[in-house]
Amino acid sequence: MEPALPLAGLNILVVDDDDDSRFYITTVLEADGAAITAVASAAVALKVLPELHPDVLICDIAMPGEDGYTLIRKIRALKPDIYGKLPAIALTAYGDSEYRSLALEAGFQTHVPKPVDPGELVAIVANLVASYKS
């Protein structure tokens, strides 16, 4: 019998302007059972969000146009009863404690520096979702 996939049934929205990063995150999370919608900008993320109803948001911080901080603030303000509780991960090359604080203050639950190990990324997503379900 196959072991259960840790992210089975999860619908995840990935926002990253870098093609390689989107591909990597998508590949890793799909291999563990998640359904991924990957977009390249905050503007597109805001368009697909109402239809998608993601279980988790994974977002880069440094993006042209609107950055990840702006995006999470807009998402939290949309429908606070729905999106105020959306588990959100800032996955960014900005790894020091100052950027971690900025990410948490903006509305992300956790801040993960790039590059991230595939197993670690899966565990972070699974643990974040589990903490919201309990």
| pLDDT tens-digit map of 64-117 | 999 999 999 999 999 888 888 899 999 998 888 999 999 999 999 999 999 999
Beta bridge partners of 11: 35
In the β-sheet with 88-92, what is the strand arrangement from edge to edge? 35-39, 11-15, 56-59, 88-92, 110-113
Type and span of the H or E element at 38 = strand 35-39
The CA dihedral of 27, 125, 49, 74, to the nearest 10 degrees, is -130
117-130 pLDDT per residue, tens: 999 999 999 999 99
Length of the chain: 134
Please give the full DSSP string across 106-134, using - where no structure is assigned: HT-SEEEESS--HHHHHHHHHHHHHHHH-
CATH topology of domain 14-133: Rossmann fold (3.40.50)
pTM here is 0.95
Q: Are 45 and 39 in contact (CB under 8 A)?
A: yes
Nearest to 9 by CA among 112, 134, 133: 133
